[in-house]
Amino acid sequence: MTTTASPHIGATDAPGFWLDDPQHRDWLRQDARRQLDFFHASLGADGWIEQLDRAGQPRPGAPQELHAVTRLVHSYALGKQVGDTQADAMIDAGMQALWTRHRDTIHGGYLWAVDRSGVVDDVKLAYGHVFVLLAAASAKQVGHPDADRLLADIRDVLDTRYWDDKAGLLRDEFARDWTPFSTYRGMNANMHGVEALLTAYEATGQAEFLHRAGRILDFFTARMAPAHGWRLPEHYTQDWRVDPTYAGNPMFRPAGTTPGHSLELGRLLIQHWDLDGRRDQHAPSRARRLIEQALADAWREDGGFVYTLDAEGGHAIRDRYWWPVCEGIGAMAALIKLDRQPSDEQWYRRLWLHAALRHVDVRRGGWFPEIDESGAPCEIQFTGKPDIYHSLQAALFPLEPGLSRIAPKRFDRG
C-alpha cells in the first residue's frame, strides 16, 4: 500500500488511523478555519445575525432564528478555543441578540424568530430552549461576562416549563404565554437537551445537569432502542408512548425514524459515560449498537445517508444532507478513541471521503447542506449555508484527544 496523500482530506492511505495522521489533522484544522472565516459574515454591521447564501452573502429578509443564533455562539466559543481571532465579536453579538431580542420580557422564555420589525414567530420550543442552554454553557467555558446571567435564566425556564421530572424527559412546545397547544413529545429536543446538559455540566461542574442527561439517555438508549431493533422512535404521545403514525414538519419532524439522530445520540451516550466516571459498563455497547444499526440501515451505495427510514427500516426519504455525515464522523471518531477497530476506521475514512467530495466547499468555506441524485449541491430543503454547527464539530472533534466535548486548554492546535 502506498502513502500517497489524498487530494481531498490530506490523509495518507497507509495502514493505521487517520486520527493519528499529521496530514489529516492539518486538513481538519484548515477546514475548521475555512468554516469560521466563511461564517464571520453572519455578523451584520448592526449586530444582527444574518442567514447566508452559498457565497457567504446575507440573505435579504431572512429572520433571525433562535437555533441559528445559539449555534453560532456555541460554534464561535469552540472557535475561540482554537484561536479564531474574530470569535469574540460573534459571541458578543449572539449573546446580546439572545438577551435583548429573543428573550421574552413579558412571559419569559425565548422566541423562535424575530426580524428588525419585531416578532416573526413566537412559538416556544424545547428544541430552541436547549440550544440557549448550550450557548450559555459554551460562553461560560470561554469566560464571557454575560454567560452566568443567561445560564441562570434558561435553567429556570427549563426547570419550570419543560422538565418533566416524573418522566425524566423534556416536554416540547408552548404558545408564547405558555399555553400548551399540543401534546406532542419528541426525541429530537431531548437529544439536543442531552448535548446542552452535558456542556452545562462541563462548564459548571453541577451534577444535576449530568444526572438529567443520564435520565434522558436511559429512556432512549436503554429502553426505546432495544425494544425497536436499535432504531430510535422519534415521536411520542403525552404519556411517552411511541406514536408510529405521527407525521409533522417534513424537515424537523418527519415520519419514521431518522438514522442521523442515532449516530448523534450514540456519540452523546459515550460522552456521558466518560463524564460520569465510566460507571455503566453497558453504555459503550449500547452506543455501538445504535451507531452500527444506523450505518447499516441508512448508507446509500452512491454515498451519503438517507434522511429517514420507514417502520420496517426501509429507506423512506432518500434525500442526502450534510448533518448526518457530520454526526457519523463524530460517532466514528468517538468509537475509534474508545476502541481502535479497523472496521471503524474504514467507516471514518468513507465518511470523510464522501464529505470532502460532495459537501465541503474548499474554495469558499462552509459545507453544502444537501446534494441531489447526481451528487451535486442543490437547494431543495435548505437555502444557502444554514449554519456552521454540525460541520465545525465534525472537523474539531477528531482533533480532541478525549471522548468528552471539546473543552478549553485541551485542544491540539498543532
In the chain the first and final C-alpha atoms are separated, in Å, by 27
Strand ranges, E, within 229-355 = 235-236, 320-321
Which string of b and e fits 283-321 if b means at least 16 CB within 10 Å?
bbebbbbbbbbbbebbbeeebbbbbbbeeebebbbebbb
Q: Are strands 113-115 and 64-65 parallel, antiparallel or unpaired?
A: antiparallel
Which string of b and e fits 89-112 if b means at least 16 CB within 10 Å?
ebbbbbbebbeebbbbeeebbbbb
40 a catalytic residue: no
The CA distance from 37 to 323, in Å, is 20
The CA distance from 224 to 217, in Å, is 10
The CA distance from 224 to 261, in Å, is 14
The CA distance from 376 to 370, in Å, is 8
The CA distance from 31 to 68, in Å, is 20
How many beta carbons lie within 10 A of that of residue 145, not counting itself? 9
390 a catalytic residue: yes
The answer to whether 100 and 92 have CB atoms below 8 angstroms apart is no
Active-site residue, selected from the candidate residues 129, 261, 354, 359: 261
Residues that are catalytic: 261, 390
